[in-house]
Amino acid sequence: MVRSSVLDPNDPILHPLRLGANQFPGAWAYTMPKELRGLKMPDERRATCMNCPKSCYEDYRADYRCCTYHPRIPNYLLGLNALSPAGDAALDAVMARGLLLPEGMHHAPGQWYDYLDDLENEEFGRSTKVLCPMLDESNGYCRAHAFRNSVCSTFFCLKDHGAAGDEFWSQVQTLGTQVEMSLSQWALHMVGFDLDRYYQTFTDLSSEVRNVSSVSGWKDYVLGRLWGNWKGREKELMRECGLLASEHRDDLWEIANSFEIKESAKFNISMITSVPDHLKNQIDEEDLEEDEDSEAAKPRDIWKQATKAYEKLWDLPEGHYALSGRVEIVPNHGIDKEALYHHDKPYSIRVYTRKGSRTLDWRMFIDEQEFQLLQLFREGRTMDWTLLLHPTLKALGRGKEFVAEMLKSKVLVREALH
């Protein structure tokens, strides 16, 4: 059955969903637990993508930055994106590389080995061979911005909340990935695509894993076998999946929790065991432990882990805290591109790799009120109710959150009292 409905261009599922200071796919309003929208997300102020610190001060490519990666974007998000001419052109680019499978954009083993090779040679961010086809080279923008997958949506190279932020985003990413896998397969099932045949084909291909990839994606004969009688109607299938997701949007979270995900464990294991010897270091031992009977975690259970990680983001543990010996706060003299970008912030927190070192680990620009709040910790201070009621903290408006951020990023460290 081919769906003929067209979505209203203003439909929120087609536009980025703003949560705090960051944007996520509009579909998250329906595919993720509704409680997610009530969370106070970290702003991630240091990952300023269009003034990317990794390309300004490290050696990431200025054009692709961290998009030296092939994300798995589920079919329903590609289909919703393809409802606009720009998204449709982006889908053509994905297909031209041989990276489109019925589940969505999906790298072939060869592209995964290229990615491992980049990791092995510390070429992530500098790669010449792993470049996302969704990136518009003319301006550096993502052509799937409102339809990115969960990995791209939760990737922040520098985290405001340090390890606690890392844990939180990693849980949200795992949650999103699981939901995306489940819903992409559900959508295929709903359009009548034969999932059993599809995964059996992967199993049949497991003995020739080293031969299924071209230089940029899956070989044509492999695509022919995987697509079956949908070959030649790939874009139609993506759009169908997108419209199905839209049509059933109010039930997507429950569907993601109850639809049984299928896969070919044999193909997955064969892909891992076929990794070239010089890249074996990049493989997780536990990736090999997968078997036909292993069950995927339910999104609901992953969500519980994510909420635990969330609580840790904002807690203010008791103790006596002071500015770290690795930290210096200096005026922002606007002497480089990043400093100029933050011209409205009069100070910069400079965090060195260790006390006494002049090697900068990271820096962050702050405003006058944030500066004044940090001054309260110059001589050390106890984290208690008097701090919470202090006029300097109150003046900031989100003073409590700022202190939590400074604790998690180890700008403020606990002092032992003798």
**Which residues of this chain interact with ligand SF4, rule CB under 6 A?**
47-49, 52-54, 60, 65-67, 69, 71, 132, 134-135, 142, 144, 148, 152, 155-157
Nearer to ligand SF4, 66 or 327 (CB): 66
The region, left, alpha or beta by phi > 0 then psi within -120 to 50, assigned to residue 14 is alpha
Cβ of residue 266: shortest distance to ligand SF4, in angstroms? 29
Neighbours of 9 (CB within 10 A): 9
Nearer to ligand SF4, 23 or 268 (CB): 23
Close Cβ partners of 398 (under 8 Å, ≥ 6 residues apart): none
Nearer to ligand SF4, 65 or 225 (CB): 65
Nearer to ligand SF4, 52 or 164 (CB): 52
Close Cβ partners of 154 (under 8 Å, ≥ 6 residues apart): 169, 170, 172, 173, 176
Residue keyed to tokens 């201070």: 381
Cβ of residue 125: shortest distance to ligand SF4, in angstroms? 7
Cβ of residue 97: shortest distance to ligand SF4, in angstroms? 12
Q: How far apart are CA 181 and CA 193, in angstroms?
A: 15
Q: Is 354 exposed, middle or buried (0-12, 13-18, 19+ CB in 10 A)?
A: exposed
Cβ of residue 312: shortest distance to ligand SF4, in angstroms? 22
Tokens linked to 189: 């099932």
Beta strands in 293-343 (DSSP E): 320-323, 327-331
Nearer to ligand SF4, 56 or 195 (CB): 56
Tokens linked to 277: 């010897």
Cβ of residue 131: shortest distance to ligand SF4, in angstroms? 9
Cβ of residue 157: shortest distance to ligand SF4, in angstroms? 3
Tokens linked to 262: 């299928």
Nearer to ligand SF4, 17 or 49 (CB): 49
